[in-house]
Amino acid sequence: MVSVAILGAAGGIGQPLSLLMKLNAGVTKLHLYDIVNVPGVAADISHVATNAEVQSFLGAGQLAAAVTKIDLAIIPAGVPRKPGMTRDDLFKINAGIVKTLVEAIAAHSPQAFIAVISNPVNSTVPIAAEVLKAKGVFDPRRLFGVTTLDVVRASRFARDLRPGVDAAALRVPVVGGHSGTTIVPLLSLASTRLGLSDEETEELTTRIQFGGDEVVKAKDGAGSATLSMAYAGARFADSLIRAINGDAVVEPAFIALAADPDGAKEVRGLGAGDLDYFAVPVELGPQGVQRIAQLGGAPTAFERKAIAVAAEALAANIKTGAAFVAGA
C-alpha cells in the first residue's frame, strides 16, 4: 500500500496517468501537484469509486506538502516537443523544473522512489541524481528514468510486422537511453523469436528509435505522446508497487549503474563503457532495483554497433545533466 505523488498532474500525461493510478488497488493516497488546473483534475478523479484518497496541491507554495510522506513520486512535469524539436531542445526549461521538484522530494520524503518521465530523460535522471547526492540522500536503487514506452512500442511495432505475435505478451529488451539512436532495441533477444531479416531488423529498430517522432508529427504542434505514455508510466508504477509488496517483476528503466555493480560489469561489456547511467531491464524488489536482469543471450553485431552509437550520445547527455546541477 503506497502513497503516490504525481508532479505535473494536470498535463497531457499527468491527467490520464493520475486516473490510472487512482484505479491501482495498491495506491492508498494520491497527491496531485501542478502549477495550473490541478484542483479540477483532482476533484474529477476523486469521484472514481476506488479507495485511494486524492488530494490537490497547486503551485510552488504547496509543493512541500505534495511530496511529504510519499513513497513514490512520478514526474511528468515540463514541456513536450513540437515538430522539428529534439528532446534535448527541452533541456533549457525542463532541467530547472526537475531540479526544483527533486530538491523538494529530497527534503520531505528522502526515501521515496522517483520515476522521471520529463524529457530529456538521458539528462533529467542525472540531474535528479546530482540533486539527491548534494542532499546526501542518493540511493541509486530508488531513482528511475521511465523508458517503458520504448519497450511498449517495440512490442506493438513487432506485431505490425509479425501479426501472429501477441503484443501484450511480447518482451523486447531495449537498452541505452531514451532519445533517437540512444534507444537500442535488442530484437534478437525478444521473448518470442521474431525471425526478422536484416532489412526488417533495421527498419523496425529505426521505427522504435523514432516512435516518439511519429506521435509528435501526427499531433502537429499539440505535443507528444500522452496516452501511450500514461499507460507506460502506470505500468512501470504498478510493477514497482507490486515489487515493493514482494512480487518479482522485471521492467526496463534508465538507471544509475551503481545500483547493481555486478550487473553493471556485464552492461559495460555490452558497450556501455564507463557510462554511469544506462537503460536496462531491471529486476525490481522492495528496495527498488534488485539487480539488472539477464538479457538471456548475446546481442548481434548490428545491435552491438547500435549500442556503441548510443553510448557516445549518452555520454554527452549525462554530462550535460550533471553539469547543470554542478553549475547551478
Site residues (vs ligand NAD, CB under 6 A): 7-8, 10-14, 34-36, 76-81, 90, 94, 97, 117-119, 121, 146, 149, 178, 223-226, 229
Among ligand NAD, ligand LMR, none, residue 146 binds (CB under 5-8 Å by kind): ligand NAD
Which residues is 292 bridged to in the sheet? 282
Residue from 22, 31, 87, 108 touching ligand LMR (CB under 6 A): that is: 87
C-alpha distances out from residue 325 to 120, 125, 144, Å? 15, 11, 18
Among ligand NAD, ligand LMR, none, residue 43 binds (CB under 5-8 Å by kind): none
- Binding residues for ligand LMR, rule CB under 6 A, total 9
- Neighbouring CB atoms inside 10 A of 221's CB total 10
Q: Does 240 bind ligand LMR (CB under 6 A)?
A: no
31 is catalytic: no
Q: How far apart are the first and last CA of the chain?
A: 37
Q: Does 151 bind ligand LMR (CB under 6 A)?
A: no
Stretch that binds ligand LMR, among 58-66, 208-216, 237-245, 276-284 (CB under 6 A): 208-216
Identify whether 120 is preceded by a cis peptide bond (ω within 30 of 0): yes
C-alpha to C-alpha distance for 180 and 26, rounded to whole angstroms: 34
C-alpha to C-alpha distance for 21 and 188, rounded to whole angstroms: 33
Nearer to ligand LMR, 104 or 215 (CB): 215
Sign of CA dihedral 262, 263, 268, 269: positive
CB of 281 to ligand NAD, least distance (A): 16
CB of 95 to ligand NAD, least distance (A): 11
Nine-digit cell string for 305: 554497433
* Max Cα–Cα distance, the chain, nearest Å: 56
CB-based contact 13:233 (threshold 8 Å): yes
How is 37-64 classified by DSSP, letter by letter? SHHHHHHHHHTSSSSPEEEEEESGGGHH
Which member of 31, 47, 108, 178 is catalytic? 178
Stretch that binds ligand LMR, among 66-74, 126-134, 209-217, 296-304 (CB under 6 A): 209-217
CB of 215 to ligand LMR, least distance (A): 6
CB of 119 to ligand LMR, least distance (A): 5
Nine-digit cell string for 16: 490520464
Q: Does 225 bind ligand LMR (CB under 6 A)?
A: yes
Residues with catalytic function: 178
Interacting residue ranges for ligand LMR, rule: CB under 6 A: 81, 87, 119, 149, 212, 215-216, 224-225
